[in-house]
């Protein structure tokens, strides 16, 4: 089966075109829809399996792969575009992507219900912030109600999210404060 997939994909990830670390991936929720296997790289696999690690720019590759003649590739492209539809470019691609009724049903079968009103918390670079993330303050901030300034370069560990997507909470100098997301940069696990 893997030989067949490798032959079909030409030695490249069927989503992003990478030629390294390829492995077969079976689309979840695909019973009764035909061949649900695609050949993808470990970067795509990791981000599909762990949505918190999604790099939005990586998925711009769907601009090409969504036009694949392989139904499973189209379905996976649709699911990923739906998952990152907070991005304007992803919504534009979704609007262009046409799936017939059966493929649309298959694609929708693997998508969890998403709150349409949900707006993610994003740092100054557009990276999505999750509760428990570590961030670095990128500008000296005067903290209202205190006598100190939160200095640029200060790491705030284990942030909490608020109802407002422009605010997060964290401890600086032992005091729990509200920080505007536009003044922080997410610390990626590789940087810790």
- Work out the percent of the chain whose per-residue pLDDT is above 90: 61
Give the pLDDT confidence score for residue 72 in this predicted structure: 93
Specify whether the CB–CB gap between 143 and 150 falls below 8 A: yes
pLDDT at 118: 67
Distance of CA 134 to the CA centre of its chain: 17
pLDDT(113) > 60? no
- Reduced to 3 states (helix: H, G, I; strand: E, B; else coil), residue 172 is strand
Query: Mean pLDDT, to the nearest integer, of 79-102?
Result: 90
On the question of pLDDT at 36 being above 60, the answer is yes
Give the pLDDT score at 189. 72
Strand order in the sheet with 184-186: 155-156, 135-137, 184-186
Continuous segment of H or E residues that includes residue 29: none
SS3 state at 176 = strand
CB 25 within 8 A of CB 37: yes
Reported pTM: 0.59
Please state which CATH class domain 121-191 belongs to: mainly beta
Count of C-beta atoms within a 10 Å radius of residue 96: 10
The domain ranges of the chain are 2-109, 121-191
Q: How far from 161 is each of 74, 168, 179, CA to CA, in Å? A: 34, 5, 10
């Amino acid at each position: 089966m893997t030989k067949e997939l490798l032959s079909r994909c030409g030695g490249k990830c069927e989503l992003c075109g990478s030629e390294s670390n390829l492995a077969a991936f079976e689309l979840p929720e695909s019973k009764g829809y035909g061949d649900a296997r695609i050949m993808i790289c470990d970067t795509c696999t990791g981000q599909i399996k762990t949505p918190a690690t999604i790099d939005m720019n990586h998925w711009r590759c769907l601009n090409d792969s969504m036009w694949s003649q392989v139904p499973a590739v189209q379905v996976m492209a649709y699911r990923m575009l739906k998952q990152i539809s907070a991005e304007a470019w992803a919504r534009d691609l979704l609007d262009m992507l046409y799936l017939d009724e059966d493929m649309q049903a298959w694609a929708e079968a693997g998508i969890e219900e998403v709150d349409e009103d949900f707006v993610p918390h994003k740092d100054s670079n557009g990276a999505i912030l999750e509760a428990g993330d570590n961030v670095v303050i990128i500008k000296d901030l005067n903290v209202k109600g205190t006598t100190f300034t939160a200095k640029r370069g200060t790491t705030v560990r284990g942030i909490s999210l608020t109802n407002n997507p422009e605010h997060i909470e964290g401890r600086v100098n032992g005091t729990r404060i509200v920080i505007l997301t536009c003044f922080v940069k997410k610390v990626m696990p590789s940087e810790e």
